[in-house]
Amino acid sequence: MRVAIVQVCSTDDLAVNLAEAERGVAEAAERGAGFVALPENFAYMRREGGRFPCVQGPDGEIVRALRDWARQYGVWLLGGTFPEAIPEDERVYNTSIVCSPDGDEVARYRKIHLFDVTLGPDEGDAYRESTWFAAGEELVVADTPFGGIGLSVCYDLRFPELYRALTLRGARWLVVPSAFTRETGKDHWEVLLRARAIESQAYVIAPAQCGRHSEDRASHGRSLIIDPWGLVIAQAGDAPKVLVADCPVEETDRVRAAIPALENRRLPSPT
């Protein structure tokens, strides 16, 4: 399977962001990718403290665009994340979907872990996602002809029990669309992603936001594709880019047979 990541620097201009994302998907398809992944907030990057003017219903503009691109370009498409409306709640879900080459939505995941942290002494060092977002509750593995795709988003990366549960439910690919902060990304991004690949013996596909989105927000970048042995097989830099790598599906079986850690585990399975 040839996999592509579309790394972008999104802003609060929905139309421009959608156009940039489509250009990336088109380039990925032209380069032979069968599975294309977009990052968190690919369609709209809100300013800190701001609300979303583009909250989506079940079949909103962003969802329709993702389904259309998947069908038009004939790819499996991970739709990063977008704000999904919650009836009778001012908060939204941070939602990711997978679309098939037929343009069908085959899986929908709502981010479970919310980024409520204080990275430093200044007011700008505090992040409170729970003010604006509601947490999802369901684990999701998308069924595809090239293996199960375990869905996660950004801060989920710090919770290894999530990935063990996804792996035990059949995931052979783990996706982590993200907008990692520069403060945490420089020290934690790659090492956490490689750890998830090694312990899950699965491919990890991590499409990231990059660059400065506004005067008060920037992202780490460095999108990664990592193989089941934990080796980085493709990495982007700090600017928008379409990253492509060939990922032999049989590599997962080879690694799991060589070190059968998933079979040898003794502790109870996570729920």
Give every CB contact of residue 25 below 8 A, 6+ residues apart in sequence: 6, 36, 38, 69, 73, 75, 77
Q: Which of 185, 107, 90 has its CA nearest to residue 148? A: 107
Position of tokens 């990063």?
A: 80
Characterize the bridge pairing of strands 35-37 and 76-78.
parallel
Query: For residues 247 and 226, what is the distance between their CA atoms, to the nearest angstrom?
Result: 9
Cα 122 to chain centroid, rounded: 29
Q: Catalytic site residues?
A: 40, 111, 154
Query: For residues 234 and 37, what is the distance between their CA atoms, to the nearest angstrom?
Result: 14
